[in-house]
Amino acid sequence: MANDIEYPILTLEPTACVADLPFIDYQNNTLFIDNVSTKTLTQTYGTPLYVYSKNALLANYQAYVESFNALNDVHICYAVKSNSNLAILATLANAGAGFDIVSIGELARVLKAGGQAQKVVYSGVGKTADDIATALNAGIGCFNVEAISEIKLISEVATKLGKVAPIALRINPDVDAKTHPYISTGLKDNKFGISHDNAIEAYRFAKNLPSIEIVGIDCHIGSQLTQIQPFVDTLDKFAKLIDELFAIGISLRHVDLGGGLGVRYTNENPASVSEYANALLPKLLDLQERYGLGLHLEPGRNISANAGVLLTNVDVLKPTEHKNFAIVDASMSELIRPALYGSVMAVIPTDLANDTTPQVWDIVGSVCESSDFLAKNRTLSLQVGDTLAITGAGAYGFVMASNYNTRPRPAEILCDNGTHRIVRERETLECLWQGEHI
């Protein structure tokens, strides 16, 4: 799909690309991450290299806390799937965050990082009986339920364990999030959630089952939303549904609006967290006043994306009559978003002192696939040996990396106001066949 997209020539001003990124900037023509020089990072750890800013993560998380502080009982549950490194999770857990998980593996990571089980919401469409039992025994805060059959299964497992399972039903509101079809989740033809038309019936069914405690209503309409209106439309639908539920004796403790607020990768103009909050707060305050409802949010990309970059070295310059190719040491194995979604991410130099004549380049990796590209038609001044930074790589970067073409996955580094430390070792060749047997 990505290869069918028309990519216009894109010229990005490097300083403008980082102007809105917290704790990522140029100092004396060199790119710094949380006051650590990228030259220091590449000399110390090599490339390709994922680098995150601890203070950017905290600033992005705190924006949610402050923007929704007019409400009581607000839970900001970071979506672990966006970046599940233990150091990232520990940083957010120490700041008071909850967590949105979609697998038992993610639950294990949250607990390992010091997260509290009661601050965990368990989303996802394919929970097994073993998954449910593990989550119940850990004492998670809530299951976000995707189907009638799942409600029944949770009831059966909880009854066998002698526990009560707190649940919120994920309702599919059939709202167009106006985002990429692969990351749109709130339309009636998506696999997620229970149809809005069947919501009352599903809640009635849940109320009559043993070992079930209904605590909320949940949705997630998509990812990388740059407009606020789809969120407003969803909350309008939910407000009417909540009125109906309370009228028939089904009370809730919270409304969960999921995540999905977008970020700027290149030229997007997404709403800020404060603008998002201001659009929703009047209705949320009304629901709080009338029913005592708290709020759950599940941001992932909006917290971690622009807190991280992928550093990659230019190994080969290959100009041709048709295209100019810059072959770098990162690839679709390290960052699959451009190949999978056709995502357009900023690619900027780490050193602004390069005076080479600018040309239009495709930035590609060495994986044996024509879909292996990181950017197309970018105007850049390049020399062999240059280091490039792909911004916005803190979300859905390393977590989607693979060993395709038998490539070791890169290291991950966390920077904190001038200090830097390794938070995941670079894989060795021996790591690639660990667990295999001849």
Q: Which residues are catalytic?
A: 368
Phi, psi dihedral angles at 137 (to 5 degrees): -65, -30
Cβ count near 27 (within 10 Å): 9
Cβ count near 357 (within 10 Å): 6
d(CA 380, CA 399) in angstroms, rounded, equals: 28
Coil/strand/helix, residue 436? coil
d(CA 12, CA 269) in angstroms, rounded, equals: 15
d(CA 66, CA 164) in angstroms, rounded, equals: 33
The two structure tokens encoding residue 175? 């709202």
Strands (E), 128-203: 142-145, 165-172, 194-195
| 413 contacts 401 by C-beta, under 8 angstroms | no
Coil/strand/helix, residue 339? helix
Q: Which residues pair with 347 in a beta bridge?
A: 390
What residues contact residue 380 under an 8 Å CB cut-off, 6+ apart?
326, 347, 349, 358, 359, 361, 388
Please report the DSSP string for 152-166 in residue order: HHHHHHHHHHT--EE
Angle between helices 129-138 and 104-112 (to 10 degrees): 20
Q: What is the DSSP letter of 131?
A: H
Q: Which residues pair with 157 in a beta bridge?
A: none
Name the region of 406 (left: φ>0; alpha: ψ -120 to 50; beta: rest).
left
